[in-house]
Every structure is written in C-alpha cells, then in structure tokens.
C-alpha cells in the first residue's frame, strides 16, 4: 500500500475517533476554546458594561458605559440605565440621573411601573445636558431608544447626541 493511501486510512480512522470523542471531550474542549477567545456580544444588544450604581430609596440605578455604533450600524449611540429591582419600584418613577458622574444631573427619566410585569412600558426623558436626547412617550422603538422590562429590572436607553 502506498504511503499516501496509508495516511488516508489513518486520517479516516482518526475521523471515527474524533466522532466518538466529540460528545465526551471534543465538544467541551472546542466550546471552552471559543469561550476563551474573549469574545463579547455586541453592546447594541447587551447594553455595554455597567460603570456606576446610584442608590435610591429602596432601589438602585445601574448606569452603563455609552455604546457607540460600529461602521454602518443602523443604531445611534446610547447610554443604558437599569432600575432594579423592578418589584421595589414605586408606581411612578421620576428620577434625576447623573449619567456621566460629574455631580450634575444629565437627564430626568419618568415612567409608570404597571403591576403586570408583561404590560408595555412608556418613558419620557427630559434632557438636562445637551449630550443626551430628550424622548417623549417612547416604548420599544429601536435598540438605542427604548424602555423594556428584562427579568427584575427596567431598562431605559437614551440616545447620546453628536457621537
């Protein structure tokens, strides 16, 4: 048998071994390898990393780092704020939020919190700083301007102007 043919059969045998090892070893190894690449889900979806937490009475506001769109991405820049726990929120929220941490409030965010967790939410945002865009009666229009309830938090995304 020629060397090439021998190598071919060795490779074919190895393929069968790979198939048998896949559920017990290889799939896990490959998955860990992919996880170790340091990849992250696009911040347009995840909202970006949390940078600060503002304590309120009975609940807190997590402020995320501003998310910038890539290349021709159809969204505008935005900043996400999470009110949590949603169960501890009053029936109506109207909070001044210092988004950039300079000690001055940047936006006033107002929304009603219905008792039904599946009920649609609407938000008004008054811009106190020119860096943020005001929003009026916004629901879930785009990833960059929305209010949604995710698990036990109410997420508000406010567009950042001129970024």
Partner 1 sequence: MATEARGLRLGSAVRRGVGRSVLLTLPMVVWALLMFFHPGTATDRQSLIAAGATAAFMVALFFLMMRTGKTYRWRRVFFVALGLLFPVGFIYQVMHLRGTMGIPMEEMIAGRTPFCFMPIPMLILPAAVTRTVVFPGSILGAGGMSGAGIAAMVGMWLALTLVLGRGWCSYACFFGGIEEGMAAAPKKATIRKIDPRWRLMPWAVLLAMVLLSLALFEPAYCEWLCPFKAVSEYLAARNTLGLFQNALFVLLFAGLVVVLPLLTKKRTQCSCFCPFGAFQSIFNKTSVFDVKIDKERCKPCVLCQTACPTMSLSKESIERGETLLSCTKCGACVDACPRGAVNWHVKGTEAAANPERARLLFLYAAWAMAVMFGGSVIAQGIRTILHFVL
108 close to 139: Cβ distance less than 8 angstroms: no
**Nearest distance in Å: CB 128, partner 1:** 26
Q: Of 156, 125, 126, whose CA–CA distance to 47 is shortest? A: 156
Residue 129 DSSP SS3:
coil
Task: Kindly report the length of the chain.
Answer: 163
Q: How far apart are the first and last CA of the chain?
A: 67
Binding mask 88-117 for partner 1 (x = CB under 8 A): ------------------------------
Would you give the DSSP letter of residue 77?
P
Among residues 55, 74, 102, 137, which is the contact residue for partner 1, using CB under 8 A?
74
Nearer CB in complex with partner 1: 96/150: 150
CA pair distance 12, 94, nearest whole angstrom: 67
Among residues 52, 57, 67, 71, which is the contact residue for partner 1, using CB under 8 A?
71
Report 8-47 residues binding partner 1 (CB under 8 A).
8-9, 11-16, 18-20, 22-23, 26-35, 37-47
Contact set with partner 1 (CB under 8 A): 2, 4-9, 11-16, 18-20, 22-23, 26-35, 37-47, 69-74, 140-141, 143, 146, 148-151, 155
């Amino acid at each position: 048998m020629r060397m090439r043919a021998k190598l071919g059969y060795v490779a074919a045998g190895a393929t069968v071994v790979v198939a048998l090892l896949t559920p017990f070893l290889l799939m896990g190894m490959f998955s860990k390898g992919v996880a170790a690449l340091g990849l992250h889900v696009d911040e347009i979806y995840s909202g970006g990393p949390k940078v600060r937490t503002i304590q309120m009475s009975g609940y807190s506001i997590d402020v995320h780092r501003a998310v910038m769109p890539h290349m021709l991405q159809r969204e505008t820049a935005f900043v996400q704020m999470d009110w949590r726990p949603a169960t501890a929120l009053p029936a109506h929220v109207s909070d001044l939020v210092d988004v950039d941490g300079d000690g001055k409030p940047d936006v006033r965010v107002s929304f009603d919190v219905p008792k039904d967790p599946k009920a649609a939410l609407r938000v008004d945002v008054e811009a106190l700083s020119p860096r943020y865009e005001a929003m009026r009666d916004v629901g879930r229009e785009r990833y960059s301007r929305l209010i949604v309830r995710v698990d036990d938090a109410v997420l508000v995304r406010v567009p950042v102007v001129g970024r």
